[in-house]
Amino acid sequence: MTRKYFGTDGIRGRVGDYPITPDFVLKLGWAAGRVLAGNNGGKVLIGKDTRISGYMFESALEAGLSAAGVDIHLLGPMPTPGVAYLTRTQFAQGGIVISASHNPYHDNGIKFFSGKGTKLPDDIEQAIEAELDRDMVCKCNDSASLGKAERLDDAAGRYIEFCKSTFPTGMDLKGVKIVVDCANGATYHIAPKVFAELGATVFAIGDKPDGININEACGSTHMELLQENVKKYQADIGIALDGDGDRVMMVDGQGALVDGDELLYVIAMHRHQNNLLEGGVVGTLMTNLGLEHALQELNIDFQRASVGDRYVMECLRKDNWQLGGESSGHIICLDRTTTGDGIVSALQVLAAMRENEKSLRDLLSGMHKYPQTLLNVRLKEKMDVMGQDLVKEAVRSAESQLANNGRVLLRPSGTEPLIRVMVEGRDEGLVNAVAQELVNVVQSCLSA
């Protein structure tokens, strides 16, 4: 489907640059209300992260939805997965999140959930875009038909209780020291309480949002702060969330980084150990080969989807599997919730640690990440580089050199005029050499 506004995860951009403007978001609220609730009214939930522009876009969406005759329940600051959960449990026709995830404060975006708490299918996004091309009119000509707005009581508390319910009954976190980095984002008032109420000793950082410090030198995209604090407090584990709370990265007790591939391995191994893993595991084209080989050792099936949680979810649903994720820490546990959830994913890792009475580093002893090199080649103009005979031959040669101990991936960037060259394998020297050879061939084709 060719989308005019929607990307792989809603609509996103710099605040003030079209379409991330108040007038467009007003009409987007109206269009979404007409599609999600139809002519029968209903209600839509709105949550947001902590960006200063969230106030403006919340008001714009509220006005647009009201004009479409839809009632609005405002959640205030709420993680993206929290909006998904509450949309489902409140039996709403849809949920909207105002967030640009891990981007800096000057960006923002609008994401949608269906009444089932899942990302919108293509046909619904298409229908919303079709409405955006129509003239905006209020529902009927009767003001009595307009939608009303109200705050949902204790939205944060409801989501906190849900998160805790995904942790094994009868198990607690007493004696565990955790540093939680909330990225000055939507989890600042939720994540520390979840872990503390389960018994952990919690040291919270990145929990003082001011509207512009979201993701600034903190959170899952800037792990140095968490590493420093894990060592400072001599914690057992560090948990870093992103601005809207759907991703998680960790730091072990020694201060070493633990990425999404490694967390996915721990969760998969624990589910497999307890005969609770239905089907296999879905990763992406960028998932480290070390995870694939580690899962093979456990006789767990593995598939790769295109990059993006949307495609991981599609692959899971196609085969009726339950567990998948990305290296960036976007992990989906469909046996616990309907979308990627950083807090819930972290709790699954902590459950594996508690049940096995092992540290996170010890749980990772069965997985060895392969060295991976990612190089970018900038394009001056649009060109089918991968279709060039020289490039095809170079890829075949690279794959032959790596044999079964490595992997090659060339793909165009979805956001920039770049060709991304990725090579990974057991031998770091060979990996670096092969990657540079491929870059040289791509550049020679561009020069020619």
Task: Kindly list the catalytic residues.
Answer: 101
Q: Give Dmax (Cα) for the chain.
A: 72
Task: Give the DSSP per-residue string, 293-339.
Answer: HHHHHTT--EEEE-SSHHHHHHHHHHHT--EEE-TTS-EEETTT-SS
Instruction: State which amino acid sits at residue 114.
Output: S
Closest CA to 324 of 341, 423, 362: 341
CA distance 320 to 315: 8
Closest CA to 237 of 205, 265, 202: 202
Structural tokens at position 225: 């702060």
CA distance 177 to 361: 15
Closest CA to 258 of 248, 268, 249: 249
Give residues with Cβ within 8 angstroms of 281, minimum separation 6. Answer: 264, 268, 295, 300, 301, 302, 303, 321, 323, 324
CA distance 390 to 395: 9
| Residue 328 CB neighbours (<10 A) | 21
Which helix H or strand E contains 77, and what residues bound it?
Answer: strand 71-77
CA distance 359 to 6: 42
Closest CA to 394 of 359, 352, 433, 336: 433
Closest CA to 244 of 10, 7, 5, 6: 10
